[in-house]
Amino acid sequence: MNVLEQFDQERVFYFFEEITKIPHGSGNEKALSDYLVAFAKERNLYYIQDEAYNVCIKKNGALGCENGKTVILQGHIDMVCEKNSDVIHDFIKEPLDIYVENGFIHARGTTLGADNGIAVAYMLALLDSNTIPHPPLEGVFTVDEEVGMKGAFQLDTSILEGKWFLNMDTEEEGVLLSGCAGVEEHVWICLWFVCQMRGRVTKFLFVA
């Protein structure tokens, strides 16, 4: 039985646990990149893996959303590798040793890689699902974000068709930041609102 089976919603934590089994520190992402390629092949999804080991996986819209606008989802596949001084762990070869305590997921003596593994897990769950309605998706998995966003800089964006882009790497739980750094004139409008998601109140901050 997987450690995180108790949490599973739409296989998000199944994929998160899979990711923890594959070492993926910055500069060591080939194995996880290859896992993504195998994932796409198994599901007959269109994919591109570039020389930097960035991966893009495309999936048609489903369940009534076939004609929706394409949405790009993006997260990075590298993690920060830190450990306690009394722990022996080889981040190049060894899987993380995860466990659950008081409803929180931990890794014994090391970083967990939730940044940005949880984004990768959400993207895989969406790309895997046959039951979640969604528009056409382009999942973009980049490498080496933690060491200067090298993967994102090497990504050939001409492979992307979508105009809507959701980066899934943020700091605060429950906060959604909307913005764009690529415009000369910028009007800032901040709006807080509260909504229900899966029975739980979530607070969003929109900045546009």
The catalytic residues are 78, 145
Minimum distance from CB of 140 to Zn ion (Å)? 14
The reply to whether 115 sits near Zn ion by the rule CB under 5 A is: yes
144 binds Zn ion (CB under 5 A): no
116 binds Zn ion (CB under 5 A): yes
CB of 70 within 8 A of CB of 163? Answer: yes
Nearer to Zn ion, 26 or 116 (CB): 116
Query: Cis peptide leading into 116, omega within 30 of 0?
Result: yes
Count the site residues for Zn ion by CB under 5 A. Answer: 3
Residues 6+ apart with CB under 8 A from 14: 2, 4, 5, 8, 125
Among positions 154-173, residues that touch Zn ion (CB under 5 A) are: 169
- How far is Cα 30 from Cα 78, in angstroms, rounded to an integer? 10
Stretch that binds Zn ion, among 100-108, 115-123, 147-155, 186-194 (CB under 5 A): 115-123
Single out the residue of 63, 62, 109, 57 nearest to residue 82, CA to CA: 109
The CB-of-118 to Zn ion minimum distance in angstroms stands at 10
Name which of 43, 36, 7, 5 is nearest 19 in CA terms: 36
Nearest distance from C-beta of residue 76 to Zn ion, angstroms: 6
- Comparison of 17 and 145: residue with beta carbon closer to Zn ion: 145
Indicate the residue among 62 and 119 with the shorter CB distance to Zn ion: 119
Provide, rounded to whole angstroms, the least separation between the CB of residue 78 and Zn ion: 9
Query: Closer CB to Zn ion, residue 17 or residue 144?
Result: 144
CA-CA-CA-CA torsion sign (30, 148, 145, 141)? negative
Q: Does 138 bind Zn ion (CB under 5 A)?
A: no
DSSP 80: -
In angstroms, rounded to a whole number, what is the distance separating the alpha carbons of residues 79 and 16? 13
54 interacts with Zn ion by CB under 5 A: no
Where do contacts with Zn ion occur on this chain (CB under 5 A)? 115-116, 169
